[in-house]
Amino acid sequence: MTNNSVTQSQAPASTLQLALWSHEPEQQDGDARQTNAVGLYDLAPRFVFASGERGGEDRRDNAHVESVTRSFAYNGEPYVITLDPARVTRRVRADAEDGGPAKYKTVRIEALPGEREQVVEEVIRRLATERTRLMLVDGDNRRNAKVQMRFSFYEIQKELSRVRRTLSITEIKEALLILSKTFLTIEQPADHPGGSATLLQSTAFPVVAMRGGKGVSVRLDDDGEVGGNTETYLEFNPLVAKAIMSLKFQSISYEMLMKIRNPVSWWLYKSLSLHYHNSGDVEPMEIRAGDIITNSGMNRSKRHRDTLRAIKVAVEVLVTQGVLAGYEKESERGAGPEIVDVTYALRPSEQFLEQIRRGKALAEQNARTLRQLAQPEDLDDQGRPRGPIPIDRASESALRRDRRSLLKRVEMEVPVIDAAAQG
């Protein structure tokens, strides 16, 4: 393996933002497991689900995959995302001679993240909410501290198995390599009224490294074997790290999310979660099929009516999974009889709204805790943290007690329409 050592300068262990990002053990059991969503990053069409666009099994020997550029909207603002493919090696089966034993060869491919990588990233994010998983490095620079996470491949594999998504250690390694090597650029277009702005130029995980001999960390690469129990760590990209450190994330139901197998339904679930988290009412969310097609990154069929049918299937999946109580739709026709667009009114279920109420209550408590524990110099003009805020062990323990108490009473005491997190 290439000599690619990684050095660390670790920040103080007890940091207010990391404590508020984590979820209590009571939230990690059964159907109560939660994860945290990061609005723009999670809703950007970062995954390519059409097999012809990525280095999938049907293109295992293809040495080149084109970059993908997509326009999308978030909170009414236009954005452009560009995905430059990762280059990885893959061991594939070669044709055996005269019925002899199977042979294998190593090929170099280019690949873009797809459904497998989406699921692996989501599992990592859920594991990151467990207490003591995260740490800050380069903590001497308050504004640029990086957020890293410790884990093992077996832990990812075990969690994938629990949610009935079986992958081998080799497949998990390849998914992480693709996530850590696919370069993402998210920016506002040049013709945006406020001017062009680049929000992210990075990979999902800029660093994925393993503990080597004598405590030296070595970057994960294509070479060599990966031990399932080897201590491994990764670094979150600047957009996710900034969301953690500025407390701009929302708690959503991980269990509901992982029961969804349709990638368009997955995107719709996150869209619904973020919409109701920021909304003061529980009226049906209206969304056009054209916006789903543009913003979700879904695969478009050659016939538009087949794409519209796929969206209807995705909506009905959410009804089946108990996310929606139902929906209404209104078709829009062009000059002829063909349907050109459909407007959906999605009615959230009581079970889903219960999860929204829980997430809003946690967000409000996070805001209160920040006001109580931060010093004036720790906050900017908008009341957001300027950098890592150290807290002592007693304050951290009190924070966790308050959160446990909140979760015990939130079901009865926090109406959905009154618990909207502000800021």
Map the chain to HEC letters. CCCCEECCCECCCCEHHHHHHCCCHHHHCHHHCEEEECHHHHHCCCCCCCHHHCCCHHHCCCCCCCCEEEEEEECCEEEEEEEECEEEEEEEEECCCCCCCCEEEEEEEEECCCHHHHHHHHHHHHHCCCCCCEEEECCCCHHHCEEEEEECHHHHHHHHHHCCCCCCHHHHHHHHHHHHHCEEEEEECCCCCCCCEEEEEECCCCEEEEECHHHCEEECCCCCCCCCCCCEEEECCHHHHHHHHCCCCEEEEHHHHHCCCCHHHHHHHHHHHHHHHCCCCCCCEEEEHHHHHHHHCCCCCCCHHHHHHHHHHHHHHHHHCCCEEEEEEEEEECCCCCEEEEEEEEEECHHHHHHHHHHHHHHHHHHHHHHHHCCHHHECCCCCECCCCECCHHHHHHHHHHHHHHHHHHHHHCCHHHCCCCC
pLDDT of residue 52: 40
pLDDT of residue 60: 31
pLDDT of residue 103: 75
Q: Give the residue numbers spanning the domain of 92.
A: 38-252
**What is the longest distance spanned by two Cα atoms in the chain?**
77
Residue 113 domain-assigned (yes or no): yes
pLDDT of residue 150: 93
Residue 294 domain-assigned (yes or no): no
Reported as a pLDDT band with limits 50, 70 and 90, residue 9 is very low
Whole-model pTM? Answer: 0.88
Phi, psi (degrees; rounded to nearest 5) at 307: -65, -45
- 177 or 33, higher pLDDT: 177
Reported as a pLDDT band with limits 50, 70 and 90, residue 418 is very low
User: What is the total count of domains within the chain?
Assistant: 1
pLDDT of residue 29: 54
Residue 419 domain-assigned (yes or no): no
In tens, the pLDDT along 91-122 reads 777 765 666 677 778 888 899 999 999 999 99
Residue 94 domain-assigned (yes or no): yes
pLDDT of residue 96: 57
Amino acid of residue 311: I
- 162 or 5, higher pLDDT: 162
Q: Would you state the structure tokens that stand for residue 51, as one six-digit string?
A: 């097999």
pLDDT of residue 99: 62
pLDDT of residue 148: 95
In tens, the pLDDT along 199-256 reads 999 999 999 988 765 555 667 775 656 667 788 999 999 999 999 999 999 999 999 9
Residue 263 domain-assigned (yes or no): no
Is-contact 340 333, C-beta < 8 A? yes
Residue 414 domain-assigned (yes or no): no
Q: Would you state the structure tokens that stand for residue 85, as one six-digit string?
A: 């493919």
Pick from 110, 32, 13, 101: which is nearest to 67 by CA? 110
CA dihedral (165, 171, 174, 179) in degrees, to 10, reads 0
Residue 238 domain-assigned (yes or no): yes
Residue 198 domain-assigned (yes or no): yes
